[in-house]
Amino acid sequence: SQTIHQWPATLVQPVGSPLSLECTVEGTSNPNLYWYRQAAGRGLQLLFYSVGIGQISSEVPQNLSASRPQDRQFILSSKKLLLSDSGFYLCAWGKRGEAFFGQGTRLTVV
């Protein structure tokens, strides 16, 4: 069966510090991978998606970037965090139209 791992679970970072969130998927090959963000009181917003190694599409302009160095690894990064980057970050993998989420990282920028 497929599993998705995302870490860390919680993170508190000062404004201006860098960010790296990692996500890995097991039990499937060549999955579509996604980063979503859920801000307080708002719906999930798609940030990035990837259909293969090195292939990244950005859905919204922002302070973040994503990379996919391996087939089942997806990384979300920032060089300098803003207060507005706070939120619940969710990695997801998908196949045949269905998306499955990792446990999420709750990021608080202070």
Partner 1 sequence: QKEVEQNSGPLSVPEGAIASLNCTYSDRGSQSFFWYRQYSGKSPELIMFIYSNGDKEDGRFTAQLNKASQYVSLLIRDSQPSDSATYLCAVCPNFGNEKLTFGTGTRLTIIP
Q: Is 51 in the site for partner 1 (CB under 8 A)?
A: yes
Cα–Cα distance, 99 to 7 (Å, whole number):
18
Q: Is 15 in the site for partner 1 (CB under 8 A)?
A: no
Tokens for 84, please give them. 């507005």
Q: For residue 81, which phi and psi values (nearest 5 degrees)?
A: -75, 145
Q: Which one of residues 59, 79, 84, 108 is an interface residue with partner 1 (CB under 8 A)?
A: 59
Residue 49 CB, shortest distance to partner 1, in Å, is 6
| Backbone region of residue 30 per phi and psi (left: phi > 0; alpha: psi in -120 to 50; beta: other values) | left
Q: Which residues make up the interface to partner 1 (CB under 8 A)?
A: 32, 34, 41-46, 49, 51, 59, 90, 92, 94, 97-104, 106
